[in-house]
């Protein structure tokens, strides 16, 4: 790839210090490092994955309305967390995590300590964890 | 306390960190050189090891291996530690960093890294950063992250979290540092030849009964990719494809990016050893890198299109198979040529 061909498709890295340094050849065939802010192809792949996650979230919302699921599952799916990982990061047994995810009553009766453990693992506040997502 | 070490961005996190650590001791090894010397180019596709529910594809060796290889080549005394206790891991870090005034390389997971864009945060446990200082009052560490343009900071709490992430390949606070440099840095020429030969072996001379690694792996993946649509349905197949594109282009610049780094290494090697034919190989490597990029571009096009439009998974399989054959041929020829002049 030539230095002038390095794509600069800014999308996700805006406002962060993260860049993608890449090596490219200049007009004399010498390699140089160029800072790249993003590439269309990759942004598309990320967007595709995020859309797929969003679709899954919508399914969970449907189930919440039927009373078969809880907001904890919604935010776990949204933050790409599986039961195993969430159980580890929040330091709560898997069996309980599954229960809190599927039983609205169990989730509603959670104490502050458990909630804050979940919230921290999911990088959000307790308030956010309790609020229904806006559409 | 902060050690005097200038930040330099790098295309591959581990090499960038190695190059940073060596620079502190006054040894200027550029990033491509570190990559080449540690025989970093690799390909592996494990259908049975899952990362985020999808088969793992990697264009690099295991985290930590590059550092081991390069220190062995140079004769540097170094240490690598893993921990069971989080507090001990942090204590040891402080001890080495503050007590011995040594920059430390850490393997971290990127999911909890606060300065990453939120969309990039996946469960990937193989990012390398170099820790150069700590503010003892606030407990904030200064960090050289190769993928950022400037020095960044991490609080003690965040650092503890990212050093002990779980998932595929759980991290156990893995850290490494240089203990003692050799008195004389050995002559680079034999090392370069040795490293290239090793890399060629890894890529092109894997035994046939291990289909997952090296160029075998690329051809294996090309066979697998053709069956995806049938075996798991279009939706899941496209998700897997998206994952491969991400691995290709994201985590440490992946496939094409590493080919360019290796090309840059071959160019530098030609200069250092005086073997001009390596320049031709470097140019060839650039073309291979371009083809990988073309592959990810075409794949990303596929995500948007409907079923009967554009390319099919078979076409992608063809592209991959061709790439695999080209690379195998490339590394075999390179091996023969290097072998001839190292005698």
The structural domain count of chain B equals 2
Interface of A with B in 33-62 (CB under 8 A): 33, 35, 39-42, 44-46, 48-50, 52
Cα–Cα distance, B170 to B167 (Å, whole number): 5
- Chain B residue numbers touching A19 (CB-CB < 8 A): 9, 147-149
DSSP string, B270-296: HHHH--THHHHHHHHHHHHHHHHHHHH
B199/B152 same-domain check: no
Domain housing A11: 3-38
Domain housing B138: 13-37+77-180
B207/B141 same-domain check: no
Tell me chain A's radius of gyration from C-alpha atoms: 21
Q: Give how far A63 is from chain B: nearest CA, Å.
A: 22
Instruction: Give just the sign of the alpha carbon dihedral A26, A32, A36, A39.
Output: positive
pLDDT of residue B117: 85
**pLDDT tens digits, A55-70:** 999 999 999 999 889 9
Does residue A83 belong to any structural domain of this protein? Answer: yes
DSSP E strands in chain A: the ranges are: 20-25, 31-36
Q: Is B116's CB within 8 Å of A85's CB?
A: no
CATH number at residue B104: 3.90.70.10
- Chain B residue numbers touching A37 (CB-CB < 8 A): none
CATH number at residue A113: 1.10.260
Q: Is A23's CB within 8 Å of B32's CB?
A: yes
Does residue B208 belong to any structural domain of this protein? Answer: yes
- Residues with Cβ within 8 Å of residue B170, at least 6 apart in sequence: B125, B164
Task: Tell me which chain A residue has its CA closest to the CA of residue B285.
Answer: A1
Q: Is A33's CB within 8 Å of B9's CB?
A: yes
A28/A62 same-domain check: no
A30/A84 same-domain check: no
Among B278, B282, B263, B285, CA closest to B341: B278
Stretches in chain B below the pLDDT threshold 50: none
Instruction: Give just the sign of the alpha carbon dihedral B165, B171, B173, B179.
Output: negative
Total-model pTM: 0.88
pLDDT of residue B52: 66
pLDDT of residue B252: 53
Among B113, B14, B2, B115, CA closest to B62: B14
Q: Give the ipTM.
A: 0.83
Q: Is A15 exposed, middle or buried (0-12, 13-18, 19+ CB in 10 A)?
A: exposed
Does residue B55 belong to any structural domain of this protein? Answer: no
Task: Tell me which chain A residue has its CA closest to the CA of residue B252.
Answer: A20
pLDDT of residue A13: 78
Stretches in chain A below the pLDDT threshold 50: none
pLDDT of residue B91: 92
pLDDT of residue B265: 92
pLDDT of residue A93: 93
Whether A80 has its CB under 8 Å from any CB of chain B: the answer is: yes
B145/B268 same-domain check: no
A34/A52 same-domain check: no
Q: Give how far B156 is from chain A: nearest CA, Å.
A: 15
A34/A55 same-domain check: no
pLDDT of residue B254: 65
């Amino acid at each position: 790839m030539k230095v002038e061909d390095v794509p600069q498709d800014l999308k996700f890295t805006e406002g962060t210090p993260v860049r993608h340094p890449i090596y490219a050849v200049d007009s004399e065939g010498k390699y140089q490092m160029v800072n790249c802010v993003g590439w269309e192809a990759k942004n598309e792949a990320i967007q595709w994955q995020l859309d797929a996650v969003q679709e899954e979230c919508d399914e969970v919302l449907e189930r919440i309305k039927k009373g078969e699921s809880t907001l904890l599952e919604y935010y776990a799916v949204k933050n790409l967390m599986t039961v195993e990982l969430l159980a580890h990061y929040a330091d709560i047994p898997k069996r309980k995590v599954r229960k809190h995810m599927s039983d609205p009553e169990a989730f509603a009766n959670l104490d502050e300590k458990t909630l804050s453990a979940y919230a921290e693992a999911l990088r959000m506040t307790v308030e956010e964890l309790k609020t229904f997502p806006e559409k | 306390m902060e050690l005097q070490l200038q930040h330099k961005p790098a295309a591959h996190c581990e090499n960038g960190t190695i190059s940073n650590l060596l620079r502190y001791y006054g040894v200027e090894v550029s990033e491509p050189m570190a990559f080449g010397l540690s025989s970093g180019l690799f390909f592996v596709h494990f259908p049975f090891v899952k990362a985020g529910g999808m088969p793992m594809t990697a264009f690099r060796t295991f985290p930590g291996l590059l550092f081991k290889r390069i220190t062995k080549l140079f004769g540097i005394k170094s240490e690598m530690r893993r921990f069971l206790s989080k507090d001990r891991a942090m204590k040891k870090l402080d001890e080495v960093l503050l007590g011995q005034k040594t920059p430390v390389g850490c393997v971290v997971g990127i999911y909890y890294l606060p300065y990453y864009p939120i969309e990039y945060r996946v469960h990937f446990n193989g990012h390398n950063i170099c820790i150069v200082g700590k503010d003892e009052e606030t407990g904030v560490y200064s960090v050289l992250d190769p993928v950022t343009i400037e020095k960044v900071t991490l609080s003690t709490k965040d650092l503890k979290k990212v050093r002990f992430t779980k998932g595929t390949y759980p991290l156990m606070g893995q850290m490494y540092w240089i203990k003692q440099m050799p008195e004389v840095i050995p002559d680079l020429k034999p090392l370069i030849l040795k490293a290239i030969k090793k890399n060629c072996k890894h890529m092109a001379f894997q035994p046939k009964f291990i289909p997952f690694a090296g160029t075998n792996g690329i051809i294996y993946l090309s066979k697998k990719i053709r069956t995806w649509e049938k075996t798991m349905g279009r939706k899941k197949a496209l998700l897997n494809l998206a994952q491969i594109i991400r691995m290709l282009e994201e985590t440490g610049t992946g496939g094409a990016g590493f080919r360019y780094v290796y090309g840059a290494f071959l160019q530098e090697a030609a200069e250092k050893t005086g073997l001009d034919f390596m320049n031709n190989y470097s140019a060839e490597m650039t073309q291979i890198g371009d083809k990988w990029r073309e592959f990810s571009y075409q794949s990303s096009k596929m995500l948007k299109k409907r079923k009967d439009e554009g390319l099919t998974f078979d076409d992608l399989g063809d592209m991959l198979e061709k790439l695999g054959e080209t690379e195998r041929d490339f590394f075999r020829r390179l091996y023969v040529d290097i072998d001839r002049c190292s005698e």
